[in-house]
Amino acid sequence: MQIPATSIKSAAKPVKRKVDGVLLLDKPVGLSSNIALQKAKRLFRAEKAGHTGTLDPFATGLLPLCLGEATKFSQFLLDADKEYLAVVRLGVRTSSGDPEGDVIAERPVNISLSDLQQALTGFMGEIEQIPPMHSALKHAGRPLYEYARKGIEIERKARRVKVHELEIESFSGDVCHLRVRTSKGFYVRALADDLGEVLGCGAHLQGLRRTGVGPFRIEQAQSLEELSELDELELDRRLMPADIMVEALAALPLDLEAAWQICHGQPIWLPRLMVGQQYRLYAPDGRFLGVGEVNQDGKVAPRRLVVT
């Protein structure tokens, strides 16, 4: 009996499964964050997956991915501090501020280490930064990079960001390696471009590796190649639980009645709570239920719950 081609095609398609957790991926150079996410999603056969903030294709490093129920808490990492190792090339300015853009200016470099150190002091602490045109920020519903590719310049307002640490790892005349730890919303490519202007020679971001996101470190991450060699059971063991995304919040254990109320969308009253405070909520058996927030009535109301 001849089997229809459509049946063969559907039979070959991997069956997706419900899998929950956080994967720390070491994104390789050349892949967009979305393509890296889709590759990891296929490896796990996950029904649902999302990332917690993008890395440009030329950049590498830590890309936390959320699978299943963990996707509900991705916002907590979007707001987290980030840490990078940046390679800044002095003397060459590009249209995008990175190696993927066209060279728009070249100037001689006559910079000493002390010149570089002095210039970097102006970027420490709370600063105003204008987001680059080559970014995913939206204007009229479209990302800025779409306008940039068409040669259209959109006026951008400076944003308040914070640089916690900015240190020189090495310096060799026209290339410097920097370690940067920043608040959310900071663009390292904008730092490189602005630094070049302060030094008077121009610059662009030649390479970037993200080494930290919130509580996570690059040493905990795994590559797609490493993951592709594992069977499904071992893959699942590499996942962290969803509540690790909200580890910074205080834990609030609930009794059986309170857990039932929260899981059914009902706020609960507990003593000594502050309005606006958020908590990790746990059932009596230790299961993670989600995140609750104290409302104006002084009650803990469910904000993000996992399916239990």
**Catalytic positions, written as ranges:** 56
Which has the closest alpha carbon to 178: 57, 84, 63?
84
Lowest mean pLDDT among 5-14, 90-99, 219-228, 294-303: 5-14
In the three-class reduction of DSSP (H, G, I as helix; E, B as strand; rest coil), residue 5 is classed as helix
Bridge partners, residue 143, by sequence: 138
Contact 149, 214 (CB under 8 A): no
CATH superfamily of 82-213: Pseudouridine synthase (3.30.2350.10)
Mean pLDDT for the chain?
A: 91
Q: SS3 for 258?
A: helix
Per CATH, 82-213 and 249-305 having the same topology is answered: no
Q: Where along the chain do its domains lie? A: 16-79+216-244, 82-213, 249-305
Measured CA to CA, the distance from residue 191 to residue 212 in angstroms comes to 18
Determine the CATH number of domain 249-305: 2.30.130.10
pLDDT digits (tens, 9 = 90+) for 245-271: 999 999 999 999 999 999 999 999 988
Kindly report, residue by residue over 287-300, the tens digit of the pLDDT. Answer: 999 999 999 999 99
CATH of region 16-79+216-244, choose from 3.30.2350.10, 3.40.50.2020, 3.40.50.920, 3.50.50.60: 3.30.2350.10
Could you tell me the two tokens for 250?
A: 């205080």
Alpha carbon separation from 285 to 18, 249, 253, 255, 305 (Å, rounded): 22, 19, 9, 9, 16
Q: Which CA distances in Å does 123 have to 62, 201, 209?
A: 24, 17, 20
Statement: residue 126 has pLDDT above 90: yes
pTM of the full structure:
0.88
